[in-house]
Amino acid sequence: MAISNIRTDEDPILRKKSRVITSFDDKLAELVEDMIDTMDANDGIGIAAVQVGALRRVVIVMDPEFEKPVPNVLVNPEIIWYSGVQCKLEGCLSVPDRSGTVERPTNVRVKYQDINGNHVDREFEGDIVRVICHELDHLDGILYTDKMVEEIFEDDASGGNDRGGEEDGSQCSVAEAHYPEGLEV
């Protein structure tokens, strides 16, 4: 078990674009294992390789809707379709002591490779979509604070209101199905 240091928002590596993975070998398996150990040790539900200092296009995401979630390893992931909108509270291991609402899709279709290099095309829905989008942003040097609709301070999130959970969407736009630019459908 290897627990790596989490890079925080003042570290310039988090603003760099991660590189495509071409070797599906023991080094990748070791990186993924270290990422899972680091995420678990920090009570995370997702982590990108860049957060542990590796500029590689791999993320680990957990489905927060499951009582005992299983790590999903996405190598070279790319969102090829998304729809809907959800506006919920997010935080980040790399941005400690801050949180805010972020607009994300409710459904995504992602093409990626698994840890062995096999190609996968899969649709996701629910809260895991938020985790996937958050982690994929890291691969392109984007932090959730760049997309934050509203910052939520500890006083706002405690007692008396529902800001710690699902937002009412009043500050979120309505999204239709979207195919990224240049994608042939």
Q: What is the SS3 string spanning 35-50?
A: HHHHHHHCCCCEEEHH
Q: Residue 135 catalytic?
A: yes
Out of 90, 103, 135, 167, pick the active-site residue: 135
**Measured between alpha carbons, how far is 120 from 137 in angstroms, rounded to an integer?**
20
Contact between 121 and 109 (Cβ < 8 Å): yes
DSSP 3-state of 59: strand
DSSP 3-state of 126: coil
- 10 by Cβ neighbours in 10 Å (0-12 / 13-18 / 19+) ranks as exposed
Residue with tokens 């998304």: 82
One-letter amino acid of 91 = G
Distances (CA, A) of 6 to 27, 45, 122, 176: 19, 14, 29, 35
Distances (CA, A) of 79 to 61, 113, 144, 173: 14, 12, 17, 20
Catalytic residues: 135
